[in-house]
Amino acid sequence: MTITLLLLDDNPDDRALARRELERHFDGCTIREVGDRAGFEREMQDGLRVDLIITDFQMRWITGLDILKQVRAYDAQLPVIMFTATGTQEIAVEAMKLGLDDYVIKSPRHYARLPLAVRTCLDRSEIRARAIRSETRLAGLLENIQLGVFRMTLDGRLQEGNRAFWTMLGGDPTAPDTLRHPLLDQVLARLPALQATLDTAELQAELGAIDDAGRFFVVKLVRVKVNGHEAVDGIVEDATSLRRASAEIHRLNAELEQRIAERTRQLQEANEALETFGFSVSHDLREPLRTIQGYAAALRQDLHAGDYRHLEKFVERINAIARRIDQMVSDLLEFARLSRAEVGSETLVLTDIVRDARVALQNEPVYRAAEVHVDIPEALRVRAHRPILVQALTNLLGNAVKFVRPHTHAAIHVVARAHGRQVRIEVQDNGIGLADEARARVFNVFERLHGEEEYPGTGIGLAIVKKGVERMNGCVGVDSAPGIGSTFWIELPSA
């Protein structure tokens, strides 16, 4: 390492002897010589850009003590060696108190010690500089980390803390022993557990409410020995956000598990419904086909026998059954479409929807013969899909006028009222009514409760109503009594 030395001495011979000795031990070193006040002032004005200063004590224009004072005022860490033949032990003691790094007697037999003193001072200066850099770096880290760091005595008197510590707990950093905080009370309770040096302890403290106003701290303690005195160092972590995040993850996991369980249950129900649907479809579609086969076989036999009396009747029955199958297939396609189609919603005036449903039934003789009363406020509106809601009300009105007792005039009441955020629409009839066990099955596909000849139909109409209303985030139901009549109702979100 190349070093630069400043040599202060008003005796040029002494400077020459000192330079000779130094250059023998420090190859390539730079030695700037100063013998008067002007030279020293120039060095001070230049910033004392040297690694070490060697000064005589007694010079014509200044003393070594004054040189030392000026240097220390400018740079407290710059090494200074006093090299003199006129100094005394008292002067040496005083100089050492002012921060002098070494004191070398200027005599022929002590010249050899000067390079050793320089080397020792430079090494000591480097060690001191490293220590200062490390201490500065550590202090910077402690002040800027998000962990609170503190030190207290064994009897619990707080001595110091970093910035994060005071930010967490408040208080006055200039008077640490005045801090009062519930967390410190819990820390004090753990101190007796630290029986020997390097013993550790940890605590978790939840302070305040469990909700957003509460705080959660994690504290780690260790017993240490500092300059011969026992103390306790602590680290405080404000884990409130981490704890809240953990709670949120736990809540989301629980919610996800619940949703998975709900979806699994829905899939199981859908599979069961699909199996039931498949069974119903195969049963109800095969039954008319078997009937057609029966009529076809009867026609073949009659033709072979030359008997044409039932020909026209059987053909008409086959046509009627074929029309029925066609209607069943159409209803099934409509049911399937409701299951997979995208269903949007809009604000609908309910009286307009009921009017459209009634128009759709105008060509039905049984409907034209019925007495229909509508009691719906003009301002009543719902959020629904218009074609599906019209279809649902058409099916309910069609059922209401169809399932009447023989020789009875159908009387229908369509009533709608708002109930909170829902609107309930009721179709009340004076029909044959339903038994309790039938009400639970009436909305199933192909769930026919009466014979084809008595009340014709495909058995899919009410299933279409239920599917359509559920796709519009609504629900359906029926209140009924045998022989009294039924009230089919729909509930939909109000607009």
| Predicted local confidence at residue 90, as pLDDT | 85
Of 201, 186, 52, which is closest to residue 119 (Cα–Cα)?
A: 52
| Predicted local confidence at residue 280, as pLDDT | 66
More confident residue, 123 or 138: 123
Where is average pLDDT lowest: 52-61, 276-285, 380-389, 449-458?
449-458
> How does pLDDT run across 361-385, given as a tens digit for each residue?
888 888 888 899 999 999 899 999 9
Q: What is the mean pLDDT of residues 131-149?
A: 88
Q: What is the mean pLDDT of residues 126-149?
A: 88
Q: What is the mean pLDDT of residues 188-204?
A: 93
The encoded tokens of residue 330 equal: 């159409």
Q: Angle at the Cα of 243 (from 242 to 247), degrees rounded to 5?
A: 115
Q: What is the mean pLDDT of residues 259-280?
A: 81
Radius of gyration of the chain (CA): 52
| Predicted local confidence at residue 81, as pLDDT | 95
| Predicted local confidence at residue 247, as pLDDT | 87
What letter would DSSP give residue 196?
Answer: S
Q: Using the predicted structure, report yes or no on whether residue 452 has a pLDDT greater than 70.
A: no
> How does pLDDT run across 6-52, given as a tens digit for each residue?
999 999 999 999 999 999 999 989 999 999 999 999 999 999 999 99
Half-sphere exposure in the Cβ direction for 344 (13 Å, CA): 2
Q: How far is CA 194 from CA 161, 223, 235, 421, in A?
A: 20, 6, 15, 64
Q: What share of the chain is helix, strand, coil (3-state, %, to 5)?
A: 50, 20, 30
Q: Using the predicted structure, report yes or no on whether residue 163 has a pLDDT greater than 80.
A: yes
| Predicted local confidence at residue 456, as pLDDT | 64
Q: How far is CA 289 from CA 277, 317, 322, 457, in A?
A: 18, 12, 9, 16
> How does pLDDT run across 314-343, given as a tens digit for each residue?
999 899 888 888 887 887 777 777 776 777
- Where does the pLDDT of residue 453 fall: very low under 50, low under 70, confident under 90, or very high at 90 and above? low
Q: Using the predicted structure, report yes or no on whether residue 211 has a pLDDT greater than 60.
A: no
What letter would DSSP give residue 351?
Answer: H
349 contacts 381 by C-beta, under 8 angstroms? yes
Determine the length of the chain.
495
| Predicted local confidence at residue 138, as pLDDT | 86
- Where does the pLDDT of residue 291 fall: very low under 50, low under 70, confident under 90, or very high at 90 and above? confident
Q: Give the dihedral sign, CA 349/350/353/354.
A: negative
Q: Using the predicted structure, report yes or no on whether residue 154 has a pLDDT greater than 90.
A: yes
Structural domains of the chain, ranges and CATH numbers in brackets = 4-141 (3.40.50.2300), 144-242 (3.30.450.20), 341-493 (3.30.565.10)
83 contacts 50 by C-beta, under 8 angstroms? no
DSSP 116-161: HHHHHHHHHHHHHHHHHHHHHHHHHHHHHSSSEEEEE-TT--EEEE
What letter would DSSP give residue 77?
Answer: T
| Predicted local confidence at residue 1, as pLDDT | 66
Half-sphere exposure in the Cβ direction for 465 (13 Å, CA): 26
The encoded tokens of residue 325 equal: 């199958």
Q: Using the predicted structure, report yes or no on whether residue 458 has a pLDDT greater than 70.
A: no
Q: What is the mean pLDDT of residues 459-463?
A: 81
Q: What is the mean pLDDT of residues 151-158?
A: 93
Where is average pLDDT lowest: 61-65, 384-388, 393-397, 406-410?
406-410
Rounded mean pLDDT of the chain? 88
Residue 373 main-chain phi, psi, to 5 deg? -115, 135
Please state the pTM of the whole predicted model: 0.46
Q: Give the dihedral sign, CA 384/388/394/399.
A: negative
Share of the chain above pLDDT 90, in %: 51
| Predicted local confidence at residue 261, as pLDDT | 94
**Exposure pattern of 336-374 as b/e (b: 16+ CB <10 Å)?**
eebeeeeeebeebebbebbebbbebbeeeeebeebebee
More confident residue, 367 or 210: 367
Where is average pLDDT lowest: 51-55, 160-164, 328-332, 397-401?
328-332
- Burial of 57 by CB count in 10 Å (0-12 exposed, 13-18 middle, 19+ buried)? buried
